[in-house]
Structure 1
């Protein structure tokens, strides 16, 4: 979760017209104003209307441009229980001490504005990652809020999951799942028989995640191998995109902030006409180039020379290494690393490219019994659904989720990170279920699992229904979940504690009574551990 380490900040009000701005951009590329920084104090260099702050990240192989500007609106906490991914993230009260909840195990990385640590949650003993960002290192704290807010709204199997946010006078702490499988290039180097098919498998996952982001108008702007990690060391481990610190949502107009990592920076980012999500396509194209032959397409003697080479966008496909690469893979690289963003392929078209789609068929990960069981999943009120999903996101372990992750990916034929009714129906037909029966059954499944009524099944919706219906939660996990909800540690969960868990919402009395009716066996108006376990284990 490396932080950005180069920042170019533009005073837009000082620009009189596009030619002046372009002239300054050209000077940034032409003149080596970005120099090797001192080890302690960052070096500030002022040039006309630019402020360049250079900082060193010893852990990163590639430098990074970071800006404190952000156009995202002020984040507001919701006051009612609307089912969405962001309610599954715990927002601690301002000033709540991080150290009372987490123990730092070891440092994972160092960035220009903070550090990333492996931490242990004290109540549950779960291992997580904590990105600790110093407020004094950031000019605009809104940028940090934007990062956490963007992550809260994302629910995709190939995007890191945010779990909790703390804020005190000195720092902001962004808690995410801990991905212990190493970085993308580390994984590639460790594979003895690495080949083009493996590169294709990894690229398909990256593109799927980015199609999901682009469908929501979110631009990552810092895609690089260091920001792609694996769940664990298993050879078939799932990969995830991390570090949305440079990301931004396109609201009404093109983005203009000069931001990114030079080796992966699209040419138009340094231009004067703005840019859109196509900059991520360029970055993914560079990643694909590296995955195929092991070196970057644009690599100068220094960062400025690298930027100059990227501006020219002259690709070379000569040499022995390229002789072993398929024409289809080369074709995709050419379409992604295209200087003109208008001619550059979209992320969706890249995902649908013949090279990506021509993958060896994997065995079907589900059978008729799976669909018959999932149909039995009970519909609940929003509070019950929120509790179930909160536990799935916050507590469930990889071994509890792995089977259903594979099923979800098998069903998600278009790779957009969502399941449509047609995709689920096709899955039923693929396992030889009766077509008429399947059409009736799929409607019932959608009604029960599509809890936010979006018309498609999100990843967490699918995981929650699958794990609970097949009673895959380990008892240890359910006990950990209880401790997470029991905020005062008195052995019971109250209505007030549930309200605080979900960000200070007001829980409707009828919803609370429904929960008590399902599990409060001793009728004391509180939920004890055994009652909570029965509720989550789908035993009532």
Structure 2
């Protein structure tokens, strides 16, 4: 679902739930906003239990947009009485199209209320609800994403990787001790509280988290492809999946690329099931044996022999982070992390461009756009038709971010074209539910109405 957000427009996005009418700016970049009546008649549904019994706009002044997620838009907001800054995620009820969607939001609020105060978990303040939306007010994190800060440092060391991993696993421990499996540990879900050198790293997103009892197993396929444990793909898992995800993050921190890589989600899933982890490529020869051994044991494909959260925290490499060597892992690691981070942000941007072009209620306009893209008028969109269609609506896939990415990674222009084509292929893979290699009108309509940041809940990959 997404929680406290500090970087601009991250995660897949949708149109705003309603227009926010800007009033007189209080200071540069900040605006007071008031809700404007929506033209859409939402069904009357109560989402959360015990919301704060008042109008959020009477207590908070909304500022600039900070980011967007699958259902929500996050704004900076200010408590009117104190002028203290917070983050507020607005979840439009118009986006909650199924009982599962409603239950996801309800559970997210329950989990955030349930989690204890902790220096590495974003603090939840209060929740509001009106006929149009649910509003989650929480701590504002302004220090940027985990990978972004690594890239800015100029060099990266094994000691730094150990400290970050210790924080992430400590978050796992708190979750598990309070009966919660996070299920979506990834670098984008960790933000720094502020821009200071020693800023706290905080977990910000509990949108896919779930309550569990000891011994309970789950079957829904949820999470982000690179970080999924093999038992999630096999639909039989418990809290051990969080250790796996933390191990994937550690692998990336040490070498700059994910351990399981492929051209699409299906290929990533197959690589995870095969379980072959490369410790030969550069810079693994520079990494200590202690660090490599820890990664191997966190990425044990057998959840029952995989290290537990407590065993990871008791590992000497994690327990004694100040003694881990502080030698740079090399510029290549930093550049790979930068490229990996930029690629993810670009893909998310590309995956949302179609969904951002029309509001949900304009079905006739959706049909018009589909017909415009469907050149041969056979009722489906091919790879080339979708690619040309994106260009026609003003969103050609070549993008300044991609240009910078490819210039940093490789000067050969042919790789630029290959990257652009892969993004189109990924869109088709995600939207093409019957896997015939084409997008039907019904699939296109679902994409337009739901948006492109598809949750993978209960969707078989293999």
Q: TM-score range by the shorter chain?
A: 0.5 to 0.7
Counterpart-to-counterpart distance in 1, 2:260 and 2:282: 18
> Which is worse superposed, 127-136 or 182-191?
127-136
Structure 2 residue aligned with 1:438: none
Measured after TM superposition, the shift of residue 361 of structure 1 is 7.1
Contact 2:14 2:70 in 1 (8 A): no
2:220 aligns with one of 254, 257, 278: 257
1:236 aligned partner: 198
* More RCO (CA 8 Å, sep 6+): 2
Q: Once the 2 structures are TM-superposed, how far is the Cα of residue 347 of structure 1 from its aligned partner?
A: 1.1
**1:124: which partner in 2?**
82
Q: C-alpha offsets along residues 196-236 of structure 1, whole Å, 9 cap, x if unaligned? A: 10111111111111111111221000110000011101111
Output the CA distance in 1 between the equivalents of 2:172 and 2:87: 22
SS in 1 for 2:197: coil
Partner of 1:92: 52
Contact 1:104–1:119 (8 Å) recurs in 2: yes
Tell me by how many angstroms 1:192 deviates: 2.3
Tell me what 1:536 maps to: none
Cα 1:358/1:39, change in 2 over 3 Å: closer
Show the counterpart of 1:269: 232
Deviations 1:92-129 (A, max 9, x none): 12xx3322222221111111212111111111111111
Larger Rg, first or second structure (1 or 2)? 1
Secondary structure, counterpart of 2:322 in structure 1:
coil
The residue aligned with 1:215 is 177
Offset at residue 290 of structure 1 (A): 0.9
Give the Cα–Cα distance (whole angstroms) in 2 for the partners of residues 117 and 356 of structure 1: 36
Answering whether residue 80 of structure 2 is matched by residue 109 of structure 1, we say no
Q: Which residue of 2 aligns with 1:145?
A: 106
Question: Following the alignment from structure 1 to structure 2, what is the Cα–Cα distance between the partners of residues 38 and 238?
Answer: 27
Q: Per the alignment, do residues 38 and 193 of structure 1 end up closer, same or farther by CA in structure 2, a change over 3 Å counting? A: closer
Say yes or no: does 1:2 pair with 2:24: no
Q: Contact 1:2–1:226 at 8 Å: present in 2 too?
A: no
1:154 aligns with 2:112: no
Name the CA distance, whole Å, in 2 between partners of 1:358 and 1:334: 19
Gaps of 5+ in 1: 4-36, 41-73, 78-90, 363-540
- Counterparts of 1:324-335 in structure 2 under 5 Å? 324-335=286-297
Q: Deviations over 1:334-361 (max 9, x none)?
A: 0111111112111111111121012227
Pairwise CA distance, 1:168: 1.0
* Displacement of 1:243: 0.8
**Cα deviation, residue 75, structure 1:** 7.9
Structure 1 position 39, deviation (Å): 8.6
Are 1:133 and 2:96 counterparts? no
2:192, 2:217 → 1: CA distance?
32
- Pick aligned residue for 1:306 from 260, 268, 272: 268
Distance across 2 between alignment mates of 1:260 and 1:142: 17
Please, what TM-score do these two structures have when normalized by structure 1? 0.49
- Secondary structure of the residue that 2:283 maps to in structure 1? helix
Aligned residue for 2:127, secondary structure, equals strand
**Separation (CA, whole Å) in 1 of partners of 2:196 and 2:209:** 29
Could you tell me which residue of structure 2 aligns to residue 400 of structure 1? none
Count of matched residue pairs: 280
1:266–1:310: 8 Å Cα contact kept in structure 2?
yes
**Alpha-carbon distance in structure 2 between the residues aligned to 1:353 and 1:126:** 40
Aligned partners of 1:143 and 1:319: how far apart in 2? 40
Please give the per-residue CA displacement for 1:262-289, whole angstroms capped at 9, x wherever unaligned: 01111111214x2100111111001111
CA distance in 2 between partners of 1:106 and 1:238 (Å): 23
Residue 322 of structure 1: how far off its partner (Å) = 0.6
Deviations 1:497-534, CA, capped at 9 Å, x for gaps:
xxxxxxxxxxxxxxxxxxxxxxxxxxxxxxxxxxxxxx
Moved over 3 A (4+): 37-40, 74-77
1:58-97 CA distances to partner (integer Å, 9 max, x unpaired)? Answer: xxxxxxxxxxxxxxxx9866xxxxxxxxxxxxx412xx33
Aligned CA distance change for structure 1 residues 314 and 190 (closer, same or farther; 3 Å): same
Partners of 2:314 and 2:285 lie apart in 1 by 24
Hey, what does 1:344 align to over in structure 2?
306
| Distance in structure 1 (CA, Å) of the matches to 2:93 and 2:104 | 11
